[in-house]
Structure 1
Amino acid sequence: MPSLLLTPELVTKLVGECLPGMKKPRDVIDRGCVGLALRLRPRGATWSFKMVRGGEERRIKIGTPAAITLDQARAIAAAARRDVNNRIAVFDGDAWLHKEFIALGLSEPTPPPPERDPQSVATFEEALEDMNFWTWEQAREAYLAEVKRTRRPDTWNDYRAMLHVEELAPLGGLKVRRITRSELSVIVAEMHESGRERHAEHLASVLRPMWTYLTKDHIRPKSGLGETQTMAGLRAPERSAGGAKPRANGKVPGTYVATPAEVGFLVAASRVGAIEGSLAVAMELLVMTGQRRRPISSALVEDFVPWVENPGWGVWSMGPAHRKTADRREDRHRHCIPLPPALWDRIQVQTERARAAKSPYLFPQIKAARKGGRVDGHMNAANMNHRLLDMDLRASPHDIRRCLTNTCQKRFRIARSDVKLVVDHAEGISSTDVLEGHYTDDDRLDLKAPLMERYVAWVDEQAATATLPPLAELRREIARRRREREAEGKLKTAARKAAKEEAEKAKVAPAEAQAA
């Protein structure tokens, strides 16, 4: 390996020897700088710094003589030798060589990194901190699973519908720990301003217990919420002055009472076969007992038993799972209603119908909720509302319930406390009553029977005096109104879908225009 004291002229001469016909590459060592070599190859010459440590040769390729002069190459080699002696990494990548190029003015200094946007940094750090905590969707599903485990099926269905309303869509993807009461209050207030005041109150009443669940000690490691991050103060705005607004049919919600004529017409039509068999009996049970529609639609066959002490009568023994207030009160008592003989006879016929269908429910499911769905549940409670509309009656199930309470108190002068025994699932007794909660197992059938006997007899009188059109004509009218109602419902659904799609397009358009 030749060693020469290189000069610029000698370097030019050696570079000229780099021809395609060269036998093999060779290094020319510069005696003027320890470690500097000019490597000659058929394709050209290159400067390099090399040294041997522990029997191993290490080399740094510096560059070509056309780009780097002899003095610059010697300066780089001297710096490499110095840094190796000082145990500074020289042979690991190009970073060291680039630093020396900058020092000699052969390369532009690396521009400093741009300053980080404080907002971007805060967003990144927040996302990093929130990484392992629930999103809105995950928190919602966890809470609904808890509701399904601990509450009535109807409560779960109600909460699931409320927590999937369109107004909550902006919460999608957000970490639930970052959702503030202020954000939820705005959503509730906007729903209230749209005219759905009761709906807004209901939404707030569902969100509050959800946040209570999310702040429980064993849930907080998943939700990320602090112990005090509850929504106890979440409320809808006060209702508008002037009370509830009349509905399209002129009724003011919560005030209308089904008339004797409506009650009589409904029962008479049910008995002559104008309504489907099971639904007709459900309608009679609704009118005669004044119970809510959901306990009726989900009633079990086993809950209807003979009243042994009063032959000819039956008893509807309603379990806690079928009652609206039982979960909240932690009530384990059964609400029992005596059924007079005529009504009991019709219930027994329906019981045989249910058993023939091999259903545990008194009113078996009529058809699947969707194509291909199961048909092993109970009748949909909404069927009662729909059939009342199809019969052109203004009364709703709650209005029919009011008919019982008003008639018994105003017409029969039955004491309010006795009326509560039948229509109130708590039977007029406070949830804090220790005697009722722990020491009493009295179904009070003897106190309820006089009211039921008198009211059922009165309803029978109204049915007997009701004027019905011919059965065929009545059925045709009911079928016609049903078709019109269903067609109107489809049009409203299509209109809501179209409005939603237009709203989505309106949101996307500005973003696309800005990108363009």
Structure 2
Amino acid sequence: MATGITEPDVKLAKKGLPAGKAAYDLNDGKTGLVLRVGRRGAKWAWRTEVAGRTIRLTLGDIDLLTLTQARALAGEAMHQVRDVRSKVDDDWVRAELVRMRVVPAPPPPEPRKETLKELLDKLDRDKHWTFAQARERYLDEVRRTKREDTWNDYRAILHAPELARFDDTKVFLITIERLAEVIAETHRSGRERRAEKLADCIRPMWTWMASSAQKLSSGVTPGVMKELKAPERSRKEAGQEDVDEDGEPGSYVPPVAEFGRILAICRAGVMHPVVAAAIELAILTVQRRRTIVNARRRGFVVEGDMLVWKIPPAHRKTALKRGDVRTHDLPLNGAARAVVERMLMRNDNSKWLFPGLRPQKAGDIVTHINVSVLNHNTRIMPGVEASPHDFRRGYATHTQEFLDFTLFETKYVLYHNEGIDTQDVTESAYSRARRLQKKAAFLDPWIELVEQAAVAAAPLLPPPGALRAAMTEARKPKLSKPKATPGSVEGDEHAA
């Protein structure tokens, strides 16, 4: 009697089960190999008992393994099952078939792709700064190292609505392409100077974040924003006006009569006295807007019969760049002195000559009025086309035309280096001359000129109620400033 499965058994099983014949199993003896023949074909199996428990495995189709291969695989399974440390299951069978080169090795499993939620949760757990976090830390650094006005400018730009989309984004994920797109959108909207300011503030912020001390927190790569810049400015046709940094005409020279009208409106009692006084001093001393709003009470000193304004180098661009620690001293006489003394007599517990009316943002300390206050309040004056940027241009022009000053002489008042070449060794190393008398000679006649214009303009103004109503109307959004000649009373029409 034959024992075990034979080759003829295998050949018969491959032919299939004859009609009417029942399915059957052929056992191969001690190896546990079983040839199972049924209606759906024949296959190799393995069966044994361990500690009263039956273990069954399918080894493969009859065409997959020869009898010799099936017997060897069953024998290996019987050997493995005796080792309590081994596990004989379907995974073991697949591994053995690969080892025997009966089937190819399966491809390595594809790495599992994280879901969007998992990625967002991972980023949320990431300790690198978001744009909002990085912005506040960078602004702290700007406030520590730069002057307050620079900090205010950077804060306004970096909190711009255009950048709000990045607030919750990790800064190391923000690409130059995404920021360039924002800047280009701003430029296309016609705000070309604002687009330049965005680029000019973002570049140094990224440079700071890529520094050794910040890189671990930011994850920013050095130089990634080096090429970030706004598109080129639009070409201007002949006759188009230049535009200054606040969008005001950059070539307008206000007539002397217009200077007089501005002074007269400031003194008409229709404006906040602090704002009115700041605009007056800007006209009378023709200093820059930032110099005006940054004026400190302690900077005004009486020397003999003269009031001297000691302007620190922190508010003078050229002096700051060349490391000059000397003050730019201006002698104030007449109406200019009166404005300053009026402000000094106010019972303000502030170090600023022109203290702010309210904090710029909730929680901020009230400092001085913002430079934009000068622009906005001049803009709403009826019959006035000038902006504070034009005051210095008016001085340089009219003092040469009407007072016979030379261009060099205007520099004693206008220029931060007082007309002296910054490379002049004698000036920088030896001279400490303040030139107060010379400056007075080139400032006092200007004050007298615009004061005469203010006296002439005052009777031509609308009544205070109508003037206030016209300025209130001009302050409303999307309404243009009332147009009028210096002598008109168009404010009455707006009041109506």
Q: Distance in 2 between matches of 1:199 and 1:64?
A: 75
Equivalent in the alignment of 1:305: 301
Q: CA deviation at 1:208?
A: 3.8
- Aligned pairs for 1:307-386 (under 5 A) are 307-308=303-304, 311=305, 313-324=306-317, 327-353=320-346, 356-369=347-360, 373=363, 376-386=366-376
Q: Which moved more, 1:132-141 or 1:202-211?
A: 132-141
Partner residue of 2:145 out of 147, 150, 164: 150
Q: CA deviation at 1:164?
A: 3.8
- 2:475 corresponds to 1:482: no
Structure 1 residues 286-343: Cα deviation after superposition (integer angstroms, max 9, x where no partner): 11011122322232111111133xx1x2111122334455554444332221101443
- 2:380 corresponds to 1:390: yes
Q: CA deviation at 1:419?
A: 1.7
Residue pair 1:390, 1:479 contacting (<8 A) in 2 also: no
Structure 1 residues 389-438: Cα deviation after superposition (integer angstroms, max 9, x where no partner): 33212111112222222112222232323322222234345555555555
- Aligned pairs for 1:264-279 (under 5 A) are 264-279=260-275
- 2:86 corresponds to 1:90: yes
Q: CA deviation at 1:246?
A: 5.4
Equivalent in the alignment of 2:286: 290
Q: CA deviation at 1:450?
A: 0.6
Q: Distance in 2 between matches of 1:431 and 1:207?
A: 31
Q: Distance in 1 between matches of 2:364 and 2:174?
A: 40
Residue pair 1:144, 1:159 contacting (<8 A) in 2 also: yes
Partner residue of 1:256 out of 252, 259, 263: 252
Residue pair 1:314, 1:338 contacting (<8 A) in 2 also: yes
Q: How many residues align?
A: 422
Equivalent in the alignment of 1:399: 390
Q: Distance in 2 between matches of 1:382 and 1:368?
A: 14
Structure 1 residues 46-72: Cα deviation after superposition (integer angstroms, max 9, x where no partner): x87658xxxxxxx9984599xxxxx9x
Q: Which letter does structure 2 place at the counterpart of 1:455?
A: W
Structure 1 residues 92-138: Cα deviation after superposition (integer angstroms, max 9, x where no partner): 9985477579999xxx99974565799x9xxx9xx99xx77655555
- 2:204 corresponds to 1:209: yes
Q: Distance in 2 between matches of 1:431 and 1:117?
A: 66
Q: Distance in 1 between matches of 2:129 and 2:363?
A: 32
Return the TM-score normalized by structure 1.
0.66
Q: CA deviation at 1:191?
A: 3.3
Partner residue of 1:460 out of 451, 455, 475: 451
Q: CA deviation at 1:143?
A: 3.3
Q: Distance in 1 between matches of 2:210 and 2:152?
A: 23
Q: Distance in 1 between matches of 2:228 and 2:392?
A: 33
Q: Which letter does structure 2 place at the counterpart of 1:297?
A: V
Equivalent in the alignment of 1:15: none
Change (3 A) 1:175 1:270: closer
Q: Which moved more, 1:146-155 or 1:89-98?
A: 89-98
Change (3 A) 1:291 1:50: farther
Q: Distance in 2 between matches of 1:320 and 1:61?
A: 96
Residue pair 1:299, 1:322 contacting (<8 A) in 2 also: no
Q: How high is the sequence identity, in percent, across the aligned residues?
A: 34
Unaligned runs of 5+ in 1: 1-30, 35-46, 52-58, 66-70, 490-516
**Local SS of the residue matching 1:465:** helix
Structure 1 residues 355-407: Cα deviation after superposition (integer angstroms, max 9, x where no partner): x121111112223446x656732223333223223321211111222222211
- Aligned pairs for 1:73-88 (under 5 A) are 78-80=75-77, 82-83=79-80
Q: Distance in 2 between matches of 1:160 and 1:267?
A: 32
Residue pair 2:293, 2:368 contacting (<8 A) in 1 also: yes
Q: Distance in 1 between matches of 2:223 and 2:365?
A: 45
Q: Distance in 2 between matches of 1:368 and 1:324?
A: 26
Q: CA deviation at 1:255?
A: 0.7
**Local SS of the residue matching 2:329:** strand
**Local SS of the residue matching 2:459:** coil
Q: Distance in 1 between matches of 2:54 and 2:392?
A: 95
Residue pair 1:136, 1:176 contacting (<8 A) in 2 also: no
Note the aligned Cα RMSD (angstroms). Answer: 4.9
Change (3 A) 1:363 1:238: closer
**Local SS of the residue matching 2:443:** helix
**Local SS of the residue matching 2:345:** helix
Q: Distance in 2 between matches of 1:435 and 1:89?
A: 95
Residue pair 1:336, 1:443 contacting (<8 A) in 2 also: yes
Unaligned runs of 5+ in 2: 1-28, 33-46, 59-66, 480-496
